Amino acid sequence: MTAPRLTLPSPAKLNLMLHILGRREDGYHELQTIFQFLDYGDEITFAVRDDGVIRLHTEFADVPHDSNLIVKAAKKLQEQSGCSLGIDIWIEKILPMGGGIGGGSSNAATTLLGLNHLWQLGWDDDRLAALGLTLGADVPVFVRGHAAFAEGVGEKLTPVEPEEPWYLVLVPQVSVSTAEIFSDPLLTRNTPPIKVRPVPKGNSRNDCLPVVARRYPEVRNALNLLGKFTEAKLTGTGSCVFGGFPSKAEADKVSALLTETLTGFVAKGSNVSMLHRKLQSLL
How far are the Cα atoms of 35, 178, 191, 245 from residue 175, in angstroms, in the given order? 20, 9, 26, 26
- 13, 39, 42, 233: the catalytic one is 13
- 39, 138, 207, 233: the catalytic one is 138
User: Other C-beta atoms within 10 Å of 116: how many?
Assistant: 22
What's the rounded Cα separation, in Å, for the pair 85 and 103?
26
Catalytic residue check, 26:
no
What's the rounded Cα separation, in Å, for the pair 191 and 257?
36
Catalytic residue check, 75:
no
SS (H, E, C) 188-252: CCCCCCCCCCCCCCCCCCECCHHHHHHHCHHHHHHHHHHCCCCCCEECCCCCCEEEEECCHHHHH
Annotated catalytic residues are 13, 138
